[in-house]
Amino acid sequence: MGEINLLDRYPQAKRPIDERGALVTTAHRQVARQFGREYFDGERLYGYGGYSYHPRFWQETVKRFADYYRLTNESSVLDVGCAKGYMLHDFKELLPGLNVAGVDISEYALQHSLESVRPFLRIGNATDLPFPDNAFDLVISINTVHNLNLEDCRQALKEIQRVSKGAAFVTMDAWRTEEERERLLKWNLTALTYMEVRDWKQVFEEIDYTGDYYWFIAA
């Protein structure tokens, strides 16, 4: 298990944190947590404000994953919280023989996923992954587990570890300083569990999670 930023090649943009914090309401968060059209392709206060594919977002990141975990065309990868399948599409572009699978709770996202990977995606919850033990060489879950309550977070991490042959990478909302905490609370729409970094590490230890991890720090 190790703390490592494998998203360091993902393009970074300046987020309008104070602006959104001043406008977002409980009603916006309730709609966002349905993970439907409004969250992906509705107004910005509900989520992405339009979630469309662009190769600049994931291509360099999937290369980073492939290099770090030594993936080959014979490997298998599961994306928990795959949304419209963009990352898996770029994995297949990089390694055409790669066996990919994706799970997401959003019917809307899967219905609007890329046709290149749609056959490999299915509806499912991270707390009960529909795969056998040790099914994948690598399991990835980016900014998904924290959308569950704490007990379900624990269960989801156990499931990620169960279906992995050993390698896993997760990211979740977290902070190291009070300033980072305040920014995260302004920015957050969907996370039900967000904690200081040390508290997340304590959870990992309690459930014997042995994969890799990093944090979404609002900036």
Q: What pLDDT digit, counting tens, does each position of 3-12 carry?
A: 999 999 998 8
Q: Which long-range contacts (CB under 8 A, 24 or more apart) does 66-70 make?
A: 66/91, 66/94, 66/95, 68/4, 68/6, 69/137, 69/138, 69/167
- d(C-alpha 162, C-alpha 173), whole Å: 23
Q: Does residue 49 sit within a domain?
A: no
What does DSSP say about strands 76-80 and 99-104: parallel, antiparallel, or unpaired?
parallel
Q: What phi and psi, each to the nearest 5 degrees, are found at residue 68?
A: -65, -40
The torsion region of residue 193 among left (phi > 0), alpha (psi -120 to 50) and beta comes to: beta
Q: Does residue 186 sit within a domain?
A: yes
Q: Does residue 187 sit within a domain?
A: yes
Q: Does residue 17 sit within a domain?
A: no
Q: Does residue 13 sit within a domain?
A: no
Domain count, the chain: 1
Strand partners, 77: 100, 138
Q: Does residue 207 sit within a domain?
A: yes
Question: Which tens digits make up the pLDDT trace of 40-99?
Answer: 999 999 999 999 999 989 999 999 999 999 999 999 999 999 999 999 999 999 999 999
Q: Does residue 64 sit within a domain?
A: yes
In which element (H, E) is residue 100 found?
strand 99-104
Residue range(s) defining the domain that contains residue 62: 2-7+55-216
What CATH number does residue 72 fall under?
Answer: 3.40.50.150
Least confident segment among 5-14, 26-35, 169-178, 195-204: 5-14
Q: Does residue 37 sit within a domain?
A: no
Q: CA triplet 142, 213, 205: central angle to 5 degrees?
A: 125
Q: What value does the mean pLDDT take over residues 115-132?
A: 98
Is the confidence at residue 1, as pLDDT, over 80?
no
Contact between 106 and 84 (Cβ < 8 Å):
no
Is the confidence at residue 30, as pLDDT, over 70?
yes
- According to the model, what pLDDT value does residue 219 have? 84
- With 0-12 / 13-18 / 19 or more C-beta atoms within 10 angstroms meaning exposed / middle / buried, residue 47 is buried
- d(C-alpha 89, C-alpha 86), whole Å: 5
Is the confidence at residue 13, as pLDDT, over 90?
no
The answer to pTM > 0.85 is yes
- According to the model, what pLDDT value does residue 12 have? 82
Question: Which tens digits make up the pLDDT trace of 131-182?
Answer: 999 999 999 999 999 999 999 999 999 999 999 998 999 999 999 999 999 9
